[in-house]
Structure 1
């Protein structure tokens, strides 16, 4: 699964209902449920630190890496 490259990287995750979080990917499963550590919920200029969370895969809209990620091997 492509998410292995993003493990232990800081990500920005956009969720449905115009929600957005930033945190470090610690784990995931086949349904794209994500375990995110050091999570910060971003709402405009307001930031709320919420710690470690599990995000259901069906609520994820986009995932963006905020740091370099290794390219896949050919």
Structure 2
């Protein structure tokens, strides 16, 4: 194989919802409209998840609309699909007293 494969194939997420974590702690969610080899992303109908005012490390469910956004590839930490994901009430990897 002479062609190098990308570790992240974003083509399957085009026109689908994705959640993106950015360096600095911001999180946005929108519809992936485009990307390039440097992982610059174009998101439409984007909303930003706001941080908790008492605990700035915690993201809340409160959002603000951003619209069309370009995320610089150098700031992208994680891209995940919104379809098929759910938030767990408890960390399954946390040890309990009975373990």
Q: TM-score normalized by structure 1?
A: 0.85
User: Which structure exhibits the higher relative contact order, with contacts defined as CA atoms closer than 8 Å and separated by 6 or more residues?
Assistant: 1
Unaligned runs of 5+ in 2: 1-5, 51-59, 85-99
Q: Give runs of ≥4 in structure 1 deviating > 3 Å.
A: none
Could you list the per-position Cα deviations for residues 10-52 of structure 1 after superposition, in whole angstroms to 9, with x for gaps in the alignment?
0110011110000000001111100000000001232110100
Larger radius of gyration: 2
Q: Which structure shows the bigger proportion of residues in strand conformation?
A: 1
Query: Aligned with 2:12: secondary structure?
Result: helix
CA RMSD of aligned residues (A): 1.2
Per the alignment, residue 7 of structure 1 pairs with 14
Q: TM-score normalized by structure 2?
A: 0.65
Unaligned runs of 5+ in 1: 69-74
